[in-house]
Amino acid sequence: MKFYLLLLLLTFVGYSQNCECKSNTNLKDIIDCKPYTFSNGNLIKWNYDCKASYLIFQNEKESKILFELEAPLLELTGRLGFSNWEEFEKYFIIQNELVSGSQPAGYILFDKDTGNDVKQLGYRLDESEKLIYFLDYSDEDKLHLIEFDKKTSDYKFIDLPNEMIDYSMRNSNYIWLIQLFKIKDIETDKPILIIEINTEKGDINYFQQAL
């Protein structure tokens, strides 16, 4: 309880005098500076001035800026770059809008105790009540599927047929890799990954893999 109150006090003293830009008063209606408190007492919140907006993580020992969006993009705070976050047992996941409205968002896993980034998760494919599936493209040589357990915060890698995916993408009209993938029966105990396989002749086949 004392730790929680200390964090609230530090947040008030350290950041409440900010969240202000006299030359752009519209920002107060765009950027919500109210802190979000994780279950362990640590905080995450937006702050801004006339130079930039800042997504700040704070624990008992330190505060750190996770993301910064400089002027003249201030009014895109929450829509470009780091936007929404979701808390889990050990981690939180932040959505990263790489180009607002024009390509799939990426997702990043952060440690809830330290605020350190743990893993680039890639594109979000689908989610059920228990699991979230991501297409991991962080390895330039090999794609993986990541299965993230929302209850335990554990995650595992699932191998993918990379040569087949590369062949299919080269023969498709798609822009983004994620367009080749879908998951069937996501709410069941045995979901199935389906990958669209495009051929040079214009035929389409499907590869299925149990998850």
**pLDDT tier, 101 (very low <50, low <70, confident <90, very high otherwise):** low
On whether residue 52 sits in a domain, the answer given is yes
Q: Which two tokens stand for residue 180?
A: 């080749």
In the chain, how many domains are there? Answer: 1
Is residue 85 assigned to a domain? Answer: no
CA-based nearest residue to 76, from 58, 45, 60, 53 = 53
Mean pLDDT, the chain, rounded, equals 90
Residue 150 belongs to a domain: no
pLDDT tens digits for 51-90?
A: 999 999 999 999 999 999 999 899 999 999 999 999 999 9
Of the candidates 52, 108, 104, 113, the one whose C-alpha atom is nearest the C-alpha of residue 77 is 52
Residues 156-203 have pLDDT tens digits of 999 999 999 999 999 999 999 999 999 999 999 899 999 999 999 999
State the average pLDDT over residues 26-53. Answer: 95
> Within a domain: residue 6?
yes
Give the per-residue pLDDT at 141.
85
Give the integer Cα–Cα distance in Å for 132 and 126. 6
Q: Is residue 121 part of a domain?
A: no
Domain assignment of residue 35, given as a range: 1-75
- 13 lies in a domain? yes
Q: Of 135, 25, 28, 151, whose CA–CA distance to 91 is shortest?
A: 151
Q: Is residue 189 part of a domain?
A: no
Residue 82, both tokens = 């780091």
Tell me the torsion sign for CA atoms 95, 104, 127, 116: negative
Q: What's the whole-number mean pLDDT along residues 30-38?
A: 95
Contact 72, 53 (CB under 8 A): no
79-90 residue pLDDT tens: 999 999 999 999
Q: What is the pLDDT of residue 100?
A: 55
25 class by beta-carbon count within 10 Å (0-12 exposed, 13-18 middle, 19+ buried): exposed
Of all residues in the chain, the percent with pLDDT exceeding 90 is 82
Q: C-alpha distances in angstroms, 135 versus 35, 37, 101?
A: 30, 29, 19
Model pTM score: 0.87
Q: How many CB atoms lie within 10 A of CB 99?
A: 10
How do residues 2-11 score in pLDDT, each as one tens digit? Answer: 444 444 444 4
Specify the amino acid at residue 18: N
* 91 in any annotated domain: no
Where does the pLDDT of residue 151 fall: very low under 50, low under 70, confident under 90, or very high at 90 and above? very high
